[in-house]
């Protein structure tokens, strides 16, 4: 693959090709031609004694569609480690412009140049090495470590450099010259592809596979690919999480049922992950059905869980040793919504105070202080709704501090239904244990007059 100097190297090789070709044709043309590779607005048009000029201008660089997805993925999904050095594949778009002083000079010069590129539609590796030895690139502006890089890496890349005429509409050509802010001259567009720039950083590559599954102790043959006579996923897979009574979210102390396939095995551990957890929170299941389609566990409701768990959307996976396998496997992760249950009445077991609502202050307002199970982390977004009126939580110093909400004084006196919303997940207000859904009468708070 090429080094980062490849773009400049392509321009240098093309300029060398045009320069050598025009030198050979100089006797036929009868004049001296100067070949450059600068922006058109840098061409001096006021000097009448200047020689004829042919300019090669790189006006656009685009990703190559055929190579841009090669060697993907280039980084691991788990920790982001580098797996491959995916190449930066680029197409270079050039504008070839001829400048002349007398009649037909620009047209003749452009014709010679276009014929040269037509005869050399591909830059062979030997021509690239000749054009870049010694290197025409100015690497003095680069750090010393990079000055040792030579543009000859261009000749070593897998793909050869191909030169293709590119048709530009009158509108595109007009926009380009307007952007350059200089006078139009006879020009022809070319696409040069593909330049492959690749890094050389260390990558992670797995070791070769020794066997496909366990080996037979007698024949020493591996088990091979296991085929299941059904349309289910071939690996242990989780499908859904179902809170108690099919509530919208689970609460601490309540059971959760996980449905899935191929969950038969031993040593099951339910793992809960969250963006604020340093490590997954592990819970042993309470029941596993014989068919391996359901696993039930209970969210703990002790003081440790109160501070360790978090409300909002958690990721649930199961780690276990499948039947017939020597090593433990971890399933896919599926979402589980955990609701922060507002503590209305005092909780003597966990030492959580009862919720309070007061009215007063300047300007007048209604202030509600409330704790929750589990604790709401300071990094989380929390809001409280009294019926349909919402207020955001005020900043706190510690996770264990009660949540404080300030409502406008327009909140009426009396009882209000309470919903605590944490990271978009509402507390459970509807009781679905009966024959018909009903509001949970314990989720109310009294606002004084």
Among 338, 362, 390, residue at a domain's last position: 338
Asked if residue 71 and residue 32 are part of one domain, the reply reads: yes
Is position 204 within any domain? no
The answer to whether 346 and 354 have CB atoms below 8 angstroms apart is: yes
- Residue 151, classed as helix, strand or coil, is helix
| Overall size of the chain counted in residues | 449
Q: What is the CATH number of the domain that holds 371?
A: 2.60.40
Among 136, 166, 197, residue at a domain's last position: 197
What is the pLDDT at residue 148?
41
The answer to whether 357 and 447 have CB atoms below 8 angstroms apart is: yes
Q: How far apart are CA 106 and CA 111, in angstroms?
A: 8
Residue 261's contacts (CB-CB under 8 Å, 6 or more residues apart) are 232, 233, 236, 237, 239, 292, 293
Q: How far apart are CA 425 and CA 338, in angstroms?
A: 7
Asked if residue 389 and residue 243 are part of one domain, the reply reads: no
Q: What b/e readout covers 94-130, taking b as 16+ CB neighbours within 10 angstroms?
A: bbbbbbbeeeebbebbbebbeebbeeeeebeeebbee
Is position 310 within any domain? yes
Asked if residue 357 and residue 300 are part of one domain, the reply reads: no
What is the pLDDT at residue 30?
64
Please list the pLDDT of the chain residue by residue as tens digits (449 residues).
Answer: 678 888 888 998 899 899 888 887 765 566 778 899 999 999 887 777 777 889 999 999 999 998 888 877 788 777 778 888 888 999 999 999 999 888 888 898 999 999 999 999 999 888 888 887 766 666 665 555 444 445 557 888 888 999 999 999 999 999 999 999 998 999 999 999 999 988 778 888 778 988 887 788 888 888 787 788 888 998 999 999 999 999 999 999 999 999 999 999 999 999 999 999 999 999 999 999 999 999 999 999 999 999 999 999 999 999 999 988 888 999 999 999 999 999 999 988 888 999 999 999 889 999 999 999 999 999 999 999 999 999 999 999 999 999 999 999 999 999 999 999 999 999 999 999 889 999 999 999 999 98
Asked if residue 128 and residue 32 are part of one domain, the reply reads: yes
Q: Where are the beta strands (DSSP E) in 9-99?
A: 33-36, 52-63, 88-99
What is the pLDDT at residue 145?
42
CA atoms within 13 A on the CB side of 272: 26
- Residue 145, classed as helix, strand or coil, is helix
What is the pLDDT at residue 210?
86
Asked if residue 145 and residue 47 are part of one domain, the reply reads: yes
Is position 377 within any domain? yes
Asked if residue 323 and residue 267 are part of one domain, the reply reads: yes
Q: How far apart are CA 306 and CA 299, in angstroms?
A: 10
- State residue 420 phi and psi, 5-degree precision: -105, 115
| Cα–chain center distance at 96 | 38
What is the pLDDT at residue 146?
44
Peptide linkage before 194 cis (omega within 30 of 0): yes
Q: What is the CATH number of the domain that holds 308?
A: 2.60.40.10
Among 197, 217, 251, residue at a domain's last position: 197
What is the pLDDT at residue 136?
66
By C-alpha distance, which of 383, 367, 394 is closest to 423? 383
The answer to whether 379 and 402 have CB atoms below 8 angstroms apart is: no
Is position 221 within any domain? no
By C-alpha distance, which of 422, 426, 419, 357 is closest to 388? 419
What is 309-363 written as a DSSP string?
A: --SEEEEEEEEEEETT-SS-EE---EEEEE--EEE-S-BTTTTBPPPEEEEETTT
Q: How far apart are CA 391 and CA 367, in angstroms?
A: 10
What is the pLDDT at residue 211?
85
What is the pLDDT at residue 149?
41
Residue 6's contacts (CB-CB under 8 Å, 6 or more residues apart) are 151, 153, 154, 157, 195, 196, 197
The answer to whether 329 and 323 have CB atoms below 8 angstroms apart is: no
Asked if residue 360 and residue 436 are part of one domain, the reply reads: yes
Helix 105-119, helix 6-24: angle, nearest 10:
120
What is the pLDDT at residue 100?
86
Largest Cα–Cα separation, the chain: 104
Which residues constitute the domain of residue 359?
Answer: 341-447
Peptide linkage before 174 cis (omega within 30 of 0): no
By C-alpha distance, which of 156, 323, 153, 316 is closest to 241? 316
Is position 181 within any domain? yes
């Amino acid at each position: 693959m090429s080094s980062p100097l490849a773009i400049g190297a392509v321009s240098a090789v093309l300029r060398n090709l045009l320069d050598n070709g025009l030198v050979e044709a100089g006797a036929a043309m009868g004049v001296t031609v100067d070949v450059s590779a600068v922006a058109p607005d840098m061409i001096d048009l006021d000097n009448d004694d200047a020689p004829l000029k042919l300019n090669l201008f790189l006006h656009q660089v685009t990703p190559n569609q055929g190579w841009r997805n090669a060697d993907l993925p280039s980084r691991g999904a788990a920790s982001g480690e580098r797996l491959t050095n995916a190449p930066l594949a680029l197409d270079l778009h050039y504008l070839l412009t001829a400048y002349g002083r007398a009649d037909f000079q620009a047209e003749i010069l452009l014709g010679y140049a276009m014929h040269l590129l037509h005869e050399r539609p591909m830059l062979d590796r030997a021509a690239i090495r000749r054009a870049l030895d010694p290197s025409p690139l100015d690497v003095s502006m680069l750090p010393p470590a990079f000055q040792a890089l030579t543009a000859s890496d261009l000749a070593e890349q897998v793909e050869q450099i191909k030169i293709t005429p590119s048709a530009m509409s009158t509108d595109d050509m007009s926009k380009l010259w307007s952007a350059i802010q200089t006078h139009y001259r006879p020009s022809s567009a070319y696409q040069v592809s593909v330049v492959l720039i690749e890094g050389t950083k260390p990558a992670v590559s797995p070791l070769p596979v020794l066997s496909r599954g366990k080996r037979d102790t007698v024949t020493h043959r591996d088990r091979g690919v296991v085929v299941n006579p059904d349309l289910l996923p071939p690996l242990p897979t989780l499908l859904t999480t179902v809170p108690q009574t099919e509530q919208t979210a689970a609460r601490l102390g309540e059971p959760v049922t996980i449905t899935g396939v191929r969950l038969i095995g031993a040593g099951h551990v339910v793992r809960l992950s969250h963006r604020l957890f340093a490590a997954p929170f592990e819970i042993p299941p309470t029941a596993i059905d014989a068919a391996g389609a359901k696993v039930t566990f209970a969210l703990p409701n002790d003081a440790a869980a109160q501070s360790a768990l978090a409300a909002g959307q958690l990721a649930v996976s199961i780690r276990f040793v499948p039947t017939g396998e020597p090593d433990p496997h971890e399933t896919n992760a599926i979402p589980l919504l955990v609701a922060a249950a507002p503590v209305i009445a005092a909780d003597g077991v966990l030492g959580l105070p009862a919720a309070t609502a007061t009215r007063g202050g300047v300007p007048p307002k209604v202030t509600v202080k409330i704790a929750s199970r589990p604790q709401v982390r300071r990094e989380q977004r929390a809001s409280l709704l009294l019926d349909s009126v919402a207020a955001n939580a005020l900043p706190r110093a510690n996770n264990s501090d009660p949540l404080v909400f300030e409502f406008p004084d327009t909140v009426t006196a009396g009882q209000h239904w309470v919903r605590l919303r944490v990271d978009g997940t509402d507390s459970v207000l509807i009781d679905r244990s009966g024959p018909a859904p009903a509001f949970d009468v314990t989720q109310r708070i009294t606002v004084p007059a």
